[in-house]
Amino acid sequence: MNDPRRDFPDATAARPKPRIGITMGDPAGIGPEVVLKAAAESEVGAACIPIIIGDAQLLAHNARTLDLQCGYKIVRR
């Protein structure tokens, strides 16, 4: 069987990471904590660019409460 990488040498080249949108769920529930902890995992950052959709102030408050040191950018429409 032929190795497709042989026919397309750049098939293993680095590709841009996909952007994955994740909603925070119910603001009064565990959703904000779960989504922030997941986005802070190194495996997630290696596989994609997580985009958390939700209330920025609530997410920032939860990140401080959980002592999560993750960089983020707030996007408003």
* Percentage of the residues of the chain whose pLDDT score is greater than 90: 68
- Residue 9 within a domain: no
- Residue 71 within a domain: yes
Q: How many domains does the chain have?
A: 1
Which residues constitute the domain of residue 45? 17-77
Distance CA 54, CA 76 (A): 11
- pTM for this structure? 0.73
- Residue 3 within a domain: no
Q: What's the Cα-to-Cα distance from 75 to each of 23, 49, 53, 67, rounded to whole Å?
A: 14, 14, 9, 22
pLDDT tens digits, 19-46: 999 999 999 999 999 999 999 999 999 9
The pLDDT score that the predictor gives to residue 39 is: 92
